[in-house]
């Protein structure tokens, strides 16, 4: 009898121990479940602040291609050349580079581009995601050389390096004579003649600096590039969002789809709340040809923000270098 009781007691003890370890396991899980939980601690942060934990966020944005140490080092050059490489990435300062990275992140995820860690941005960042960077920047393969131009900007000397980026795997067109056609499921408000000439002009910007030629063909012909105005859900898994938010989108080579959100107020001569069709066309054609975003040069066509009422129709030197590098034209 006695041995049985002691056996029972030890079984109960064992069970208790097991339950205890289960409970502690359950309790320790939530912190492990979300690897990006730390982002919640820096919610609400904006430029100029110094908040403990921000360096984790910088690491996150760097891992996913939004922040580049290379840029940062050059940006820190200012007047002296003895800046320690990388000092930026290890501190908790919400600086210009971080703000610009947050903005490009927000643009990429179709969030309001505020540059601050608002709740929508934090929510998106803490969501599970794949580990492949969103923005592929070739900076890490390009080291600055003495031939890099030095420019003065806001009275600070910065080394001018190329910042253009490509899509994952550098997809590109295998031919140089590309045709395009118009086919829309919604109406093109500025009128087809205006749309035609704005797009023709946008294509010419790229043709002038590359080996490409672009020729419009009739809507019933086969074409490499298809341009259209569409509203909401339009069958490509990237539904438009009505007025505001996303203006247009395009797909990497060699898909050739370039879609304008029909619910935007498009114009070839934009007023305050209108969007300049040609400016956006130049940008989207950049994507069609294989260029990604360039978050550090506001005057570049591939810069990931654009404003209502503005026009930005001409390629920047960095856009030109980007297309020429992608197609080996240098």
Q: How far is the C-alpha of 330 from the C-alpha of 325, rounded, in Å?
A: 7
Sorted by sequence, the CB contacts under 8 Å of residue 97 that are 6+ apart come out as: 67, 71, 72, 75, 88
Q: Which does 241 bind (CB under 5 to 8 A by kind): Zn ion, ligand TQI, Ca ion, none?
A: Ca ion
How far apart are CB 180 and ligand TQI at their closest, in Å? 17
Q: Which of 193, 215, 236, 314 binds Zn ion (CB under 5 A)?
A: 236
CA distance 102 to 192: 37
Cα 174 from Cα 164, distance rounded (Å): 20
Q: List residues bridging with 156 in a β-sheet.
A: 153
> Using CB under 5 A as the criterion, what x/- string covers residues 200-239 for binding Ca ion?
----------------------------------------
Give alpha helix (H) positions in 77-169.
Answer: 96-108, 119-125
Contact of residue 259 among Zn ion, Ca ion, ligand TQI, none (CB under 5-8 Å per partner type): Zn ion
Q: By CB under 6 A, tell whether 223 contacts ligand TQI.
A: no
Sign of CA dihedral 296, 298, 299, 300: positive
Size of residue set near ligand TQI by CB under 6 A: 16
Question: How far is it, in rounded angstroms, from Cα 156 to Cα 158?
Answer: 6
Binding letters toward ligand TQI, positions 105-144, x by CB under 6 A: --xx------------------------------------
Per-residue binding string, Zn ion, 254-283, x by CB under 5 A, is: -----x------------------------
- Cα 67 to the center of its chain, rounded Å: 11
Cα(230)–Cα(236) distance, integer angstroms: 11
138 versus 246: smaller Cβ distance to Ca ion: 246
Tokens coding 118: 């608002």
Nearer to ligand TQI (CB atom), residue 224 or residue 294: 294
- Contacts to Ca ion from residues 260-319, by CB under 5 A: 261
Q: Phi and psi at residue 26, in whole multiples of 5°?
A: -60, -40
- 284 belongs to the catalytic site: yes
List of residues contacting ligand TQI (CB under 6 A): 107-108, 246-250, 280, 283-284, 287, 292-293, 304-306
List of residues contacting Zn ion (CB under 5 A): 236, 259
């Amino acid at each position: 009898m006695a041995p049985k009781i002691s056996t029972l007691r030890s079984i109960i003890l064992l069970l208790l121990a097991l339950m205890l370890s289960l409970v502690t396991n359950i309790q320790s899980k939530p912190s492990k479940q979300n690897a990006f939980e730390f982002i919640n601690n820096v919610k609400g942060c904006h430029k100029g602040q110094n908040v403990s934990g921000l360096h984790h966020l910088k690491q996150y944005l760097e891992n996913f291609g939004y922040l580049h140490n290379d840029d940062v080092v050059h940006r820190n050059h200012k007047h002296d050349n003895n800046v320690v490489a990388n000092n930026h990435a290890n501190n908790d300062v919400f600086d210009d580079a971080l703000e610009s990275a947050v903005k490009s992140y927000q643009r990429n995820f179709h969030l309001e581009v505020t540059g601050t860690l608002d709740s929508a941005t934090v929510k998106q960042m803490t969501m599970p995601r794949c580990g492949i960077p969103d923005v592929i920047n070739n900076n890490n393969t390009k080291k600055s050389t003495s031939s890099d131009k030095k420019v003065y900007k806001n009275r600070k000397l910065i080394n001018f390096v190329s910042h253009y980026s490509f899509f994952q795997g550098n997809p590109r067109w295998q031919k140089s004579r590309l045709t395009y056609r118009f086919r829309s499921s919604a109406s093109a408000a500025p009128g087809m003649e205006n749309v035609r000439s704005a797009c023709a002009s946008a294509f010419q910007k790229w043709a002038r600096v590359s080996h490409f030629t672009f020729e419009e063909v009739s809507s019933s012909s086969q074409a490499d590039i298809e341009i259209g105005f569409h509203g909401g859900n339009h069958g490509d898994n990237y539904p438009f969002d009505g007025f505001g938010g996303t203006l247009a989108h395009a797909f990497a080579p060699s898909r050739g789809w370039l879609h304008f959100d029909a619910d935007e107020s498009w114009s070839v001569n934009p007023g305050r709340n209108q969007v300049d069709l040609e400016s956006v066309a130049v940008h989207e054609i950049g994507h069609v040809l294989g260029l990604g975003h360039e978050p550090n040069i506001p005057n570049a066509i591939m810069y990931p923000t654009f404003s209502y009422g503005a026009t930005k129709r001409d390629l920047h030197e960095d856009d030109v270098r980007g297309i020429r590098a992608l197609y080996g034209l240098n």
